[in-house]
Amino acid sequence: EDQVTQSPEALRLQEGESSSLNCSYTVSGLRGLFWYRQDPGKGPEFLFTLYSAGEEKEKERLKATLTKKESFLHITAPKPEDSATYLCAVLENYGGATNKLIFGTGTLLAVQP
Amino acid sequence: ETGVTQTPRHLVMGMTNKKSLKCEQHLGHNAMYWYKQSAKKPLELMFVYSLEERVENNSVPSRFSPECPNSSHLFLHLHTLQPEDSALYLCASSLQRLEAEQYFGPGTRLTVT
């Protein structure tokens, strides 16, 4: 069964304490992997798209990387405002023009000052 | 207004009520989506519209009825819902169908009593 698994489920960091979030996937026809940030009471906000193994994208304190089986979201020297739920999603091709977007359950990140 | 807007933000309804959720996107996108987000579960894609045509219906019960009168507006008509339908309902849009750079609205928090 196609699956997207995120770990840890929750992560508590001190301000400035760098760490990584993981998104592993088991799909056959990967078309892309995507990271979103979701704040309480709001819809997800798009962060990154990664299309092929070895690709990296950066935005401020965030860096996303992709291998053939997983993606990492590295957070360097986080600040309290980085606290949010981080969602991973995989776009899978089912053949022809049929794609399906599969989300993980997210990692709830809390950064304490 | 910019981005994707949703109304109402909160809705409480009885199981015999009929109500509608509204979504409007001001981004000039061609595809719109309805998602359901429940606690501890991945985002569930419910419906996909591309250029006002429904192109995907992920086994959603008939008590949920979408409507897309034009490329900027999307509705979700609700009737005879069950308590397990209580969730955050998110609308999203993207330039083309199932591009992962989707832009989400803030969601409607629905409670079925």
3-state SS, residue B80: coil
- Contact across the interface for A42 and B106, Cβ inside 8 Å: yes
Q: What is the mean pLDDT of residues A41-52?
A: 92
- Contact across the interface for A102 and B98, Cβ inside 8 Å: no
User: Does the structure show a pLDDT above 70 at B100?
Assistant: no
The torsion defined by the Cα of A31, A44, B110 and B39, in degrees rounded to 10, comes to: 80
A5: nearest Cα among A96, A90, A92: A90
pLDDT tens, residue by residue, B41-52: 899 989 988 877
Q: What is the mean pLDDT of residues A39-49?
A: 92
Which candidate from A4, A43, A106 shows the least CB-CB separation from B90?
A: A43
Where in chain B does DSSP place strands (E)? 4-7, 10-13, 18-25, 31-37, 44-50, 53-57, 64-70, 73-79, 87-94, 103-104, 108-112
Which candidate from B45, B103, B105 shows the least CB-CB separation from A101?
A: B45
Q: Which residue has the tokens 């419906």?
A: B47
Characterise B32 by phi-psi region: left (phi > 0), alpha (psi -120 to 50), beta (else). beta
What pLDDT does residue A9 have? 95
What pLDDT does residue B29 have? 92
Q: Which residue has the tokens 């949703």?
A: B6
User: Does the structure show a pLDDT above 60 at B113?
Assistant: yes
Interface probe for B, chosen from A48, A103, A107, A108 (most Cβ of B below 10 Å), is A103
What pLDDT does residue A94 have? 63
- Contact across the interface for B105 and A49, Cβ inside 8 Å: no
Give me the residues paired with residue B34 across strands.
B47, B91
Asked if B107 and B90 count as a contact pair (C-beta separation under 8 A), the reply is: yes
pLDDT tens, residue by residue, A57-94: 999 999 999 998 999 999 999 999 999 999 999 988 76
Residues of chain B with C-beta less than 8 angstroms from the C-beta of A103: 42-43
B98 inside 8 A of chain A by CB: yes
What pLDDT does residue A76 have? 97
- Contact across the interface for B107 and A99, Cβ inside 8 Å: no
User: Does the structure show a pLDDT above 70 at A97?
Assistant: no
B104: nearest Cα among B19, B36, B10, B12: B36
The distance in angstroms from the start CA to the end CA of chain B is 32
| Dihedral (CA of B26, B27, B32, B37) sign | negative
Q: How far apart are CA A22 and CA A12, in angstroms?
A: 15
Distances (CA, A) of A73 to A32, A39, A102, A113: 15, 17, 18, 21
